[in-house]
Amino acid sequence: MILEMKVPSPGESITEVEIAEWLVSDGDYVEKDQAIAEVDSDKATLELPAEESGIITLKAEVGDAVAVGAVVCLIDTSASKPAGAAKSEEKPAEKKPEVKEVAAQKTEVKPEKTSYASGSASPAAKKILAEKDLDASTIKGTGKDGRITKEDAVNAIPSMGTPTGGSRGDSRTKLSMLRRKVAERLVAAKNETAMLTTFNEVDMSAIFALRNQYKEDFKNKHNVGLGFMSFFTKSVIRALQMYPSVNSMIDGKEMISYDFCDISIAVSGPKGLMVPVIRNAENLTFRGVESEVKRLAIRAREGEITVDEMTGGTFTITNGGVFGSMLSTPIINPPQSAILGMHNIVERPIARDGAIAIAPIMYVALSYDHRIIDGRESVGFLVAVKEALESPEELLMDNNVKKALEL
């Protein structure tokens, strides 16, 4: 019996996926539920498991865009499982020398077929190269026997100075569907919002002191580290409740405001930027935030994150500081209306109580959509975040650190 395997729907509004990688080869025997392929949607990379055991026949190639519901492979469920792994291992071993031998033959034959036209330009190409003041010897021809075609001449780009003999190669790699979607969303955010960015600086001394005092007890008790993300998430939630317009978004001619805080956390994954969401973060403790951030970050980096885990979100936090960024202007994650950018922490001289002191300082940035968030709200929001981070015991922990950290 031949089973047709079709592309399942990864989520609402997704109509096609792209074959990112086949994990099996044509003609392999696969087991039921074995991962046979990785597919990219515009939101995540997902594994495609085999629906039954049998011999597989691939019907799509890596890089193909395949509609949801289309057949990507066939599985012959009546085929018996090979007797042993040794037999299947012989096939590639036998094929490899043959491939190399053919390749060697080709390279040997090639010089013998060199034509008088090799490297020369067609009349039309010569004219274009002359207009561009380009030497034909610097152009690699794609025509028969290396002949420089008109198209080669049109596409030729003048070099920046004279080649020095070093490597000057280039390569082309197709962007994944996820990367293309991220690019579209970022461009849309720049073109369709009135985006502005306001900045401030945060003295992280109080948070450093709390972490140094309690991080070991916190980790031993909860099996998760006490990082900066829980402090920032808690500070953002407090500021969102003070300035609800920052926790809103535009839908046509209406503004939608939310009474909950779904915080998106930007994570750099193997397939590009991913933004998993911490649902109802306002109800989570420090332990709850840290556990959820760790869980989502691991799933994103291992390519296991689902579309549902990245859908929604009312506000985003991104941390360029982990890569060493001092300052940046983060781009809004549409349809949200604001995003907070964290940066690296550097010891800097500051004025404290009328004297110069050295303190761990982080620059923070809030990019926002000025169509619904005014300057007063944006600046006030960032100041509220700064105040909470500089006085966490009072403003985030109700003057009871051990209770807040559940120690």
CA distance 9 to 66: 11
Find residue 348's DSSP bridge partners: 359
* Cβ neighbours around 9 below 10 Å, total: 14
Bridge-based pairing state of the strands 195-203 and 355-369:
antiparallel
Q: Position of tokens 């966490």?
A: 392
Burial call 312-351: b when 16+ CB within 10 Å, e when fewer? ebbbbbbbbbeeebeebebbbbebbbbbbbbbbbeeeeee
**What 3-state class would DSSP assign to 288?**
helix
Query: Which residues are the active-site residues?
Result: 370, 374
Q: Comparing C-alpha atoms, which of 267, 265, 338 is closest to residue 301? A: 267
* DSSP label at residue 215: H
* DSSP label at residue 335: T
CA distance 121 to 117: 8
The region that residue 392 occupies, defined by phi over 0 for left and psi between -120 and 50 for alpha, beta otherwise, is: alpha
Tokens of 329: 């202007």
Bridge-based pairing state of the strands 248-251 and 71-76:
unpaired
**What 3-state class would DSSP assign to 168?**
coil
Give Rg (Cα) of the chain. 29
